[in-house]
Structure 1
Amino acid sequence: MESVNQVTCEKRSYSREFKSHQHEFGQFLFPLQGSLDIQTKWQEINLNSDYCFYLPPRFDHNYRSIDRNEFLILDISTQYLPKDTSSMYLRLDKQWASIRYLLLEEAKSNENISSLVDLTRYVTNKLQISKPPSIDYIHNHYKEPIRLETLAKIEHYHPVYYSAWFKKKTGKSPKIYISELRLREARHLVIGTEWSMSKISEELGFENSSSFTRWFVSCEGISPQKYRNLNNG
């Protein structure tokens, strides 16, 4: 990218030797063929066709590819980025795959820069609202025991750094975030169903109704049965 005020979308390939740099712009990498090894201070990622990856400006990283490869690269001027962004490792779901397709079409035509800018704005907006894979995992598994190491591994972070990254992302520690999800579901089940406390405790992954009741009291200050009675009149 010649200027930090530009947006560039093009196909690139990478060599087998590790190279190290940072850039003054944000960069999205979409695999088309092969994989790319990316190393940052806290992450080691093998970026393959199942994921895409965002690198924020001025972010030191090493990279190489040991196989035949091709990537669609979107270099994003800082004027289109939020003030504070972090690296994002994202599953290439249907929406991101559709975005990649549209970017490929823009890269082929390379005629209307305004269309590419509009698409880039959409990408950066989606970047802000997308859930990283580990947070997605929490929302799908919060009723089960979740280890910090498991979440860190999903993001390819060191566990110590993952906690700091998570708090920056959500404003909460992983433990509190998970507990709040369980409590929200607990309130719903206590008020919105006629399930017994034993069934609710089993649904939420507690060993028994006693442990569920103790946890609920510690969170709400009253027992789940009293909470039900008060809210259901």
Structure 2
Amino acid sequence: MGLRNEVVCEKRTYSKEFQSHTHEYGQFLFPLEGSLDIQTEQQRLHLNADYCFYLPPHFKHVYRSNVRNEFLILDMPYTFVTNALEIMYIPLDEQWKSIRYLLLEEASHREQNSSGIRDLTGYVSHQLRKSGSPSIEYIHHHYKEAITLDTLAAMEHYHPVYYSAWFKRKTGKSPSVYINQLRLDEAKQMLGTTSWSMTTISQELGFENSSSFTRWFVKNEGNTPKQYRIIQKG
């Protein structure tokens, strides 16, 4: 399918037959009823009432639905999506439900390319740029725990090998390096601002004991935790 210069916001249904195409505009899917199976080269997912989905330009995808379904589709011209070029599988929280409601209202009562529709499309694009990755948010809440690559990849519906490449493009680091840096930053914060013992800090950071914490800290920082604390409190 070709270039789309105007915003299109409308309800669509999908058949049981597999269909495949690509397009040069972004597409946002809001579930209204039923579900949709979508597959790209990197992902395979089941879009249901709990999530909405953004598909950037130029991503070939295969899709079908085995159940009665209806979706609100927002086709977004390239000018709206130049900074939103990643596939996004987003929980349909209250904010996105409100956006869906407003789009439904605009689509029902006004012309497709009205200023209201375009303004809402601009807002959707803004929210997409702000939307965080579920796996990265999970890391920031659980970096003190053991986290597997498979767990993170599953959150983004990626194969683990592709997820590692995607993560590095997004953050500039591998998942393990990213997690390690968060733990190191937290360790430095604790050492520099508290009088907690090495045992307490090691437990807070998820290490088995203070010895393993000390070895890890020396490997990453070059000093022991006690030496780092002395330098910081100098």
Q: Specify if TM > 0.5.
A: yes
Residues 1:60 and 2:57 aligned together: no
Residues 1:179 and 2:184 aligned together: no
Match of 1:217, SS?
helix
Task: State the partner residue of 1:41.
Answer: 41
Q: Which moved more, 1:86-95 or 1:146-155?
A: 86-95
TM-score (norm 1): 0.93
| CA positional deviation for 1:124 | 1.4
Task: State the partner residue of 1:107.
Answer: 107
| CA positional deviation for 1:84 | 6.5
Match of 2:108, SS?
helix
Task: State the partner residue of 1:188.
Answer: 189
| CA positional deviation for 1:120 | 1.4
Whether contact under 8 Å (2:9, 2:107) holds in the other structure is yes
Whether contact under 8 Å (2:84, 2:129) holds in the other structure is no
Task: State the partner residue of 1:93.
Answer: 93
Residues 1:225 and 2:214 aligned together: no
| CA positional deviation for 1:232 | 2.1
Q: Unaligned 5+ residue runs, structure 1?
A: none
Task: State the partner residue of 2:10.
Answer: 10
CA deviations on 1:142-178 (whole Å, 9 max, x unpaired) are 1111111111111111111111111111111111111
Residues 1:158 and 2:151 aligned together: no
4+ runs deviating over 6 angstroms: none
CA deviations on 1:70-122 (whole Å, 9 max, x unpaired) are 11111100011125712111122232222222222222222472222222122
Identity of aligned residues (%): 63
Q: Amino acid of the residue matched to residue 226 of structure 1?
A: Q
Q: Amino acid of the residue matched to residue 184 of structure 2?
A: L
Q: Amino acid of the residue matched to residue 186 of structure 2?
A: E
Q: Amino acid of the residue matched to residue 76 of structure 1?
A: M
RMSD: 1.8
2: CA distance, partners of 1:126 / 1:85? 13
| CA positional deviation for 1:219 | 1.8
2: CA distance, partners of 1:77 / 1:219? 46
Task: State the partner residue of 1:144.
Answer: 145
Q: Unaligned 5+ residue runs, structure 2?
A: none
Alignment: residue pair count: 233
TM-score (norm 2): 0.93
Whether contact under 8 Å (2:30, 2:52) holds in the other structure is yes
1: CA distance, partners of 2:134 / 2:11? 26
Whether contact under 8 Å (2:84, 2:125) holds in the other structure is no
| CA positional deviation for 1:65 | 0.8
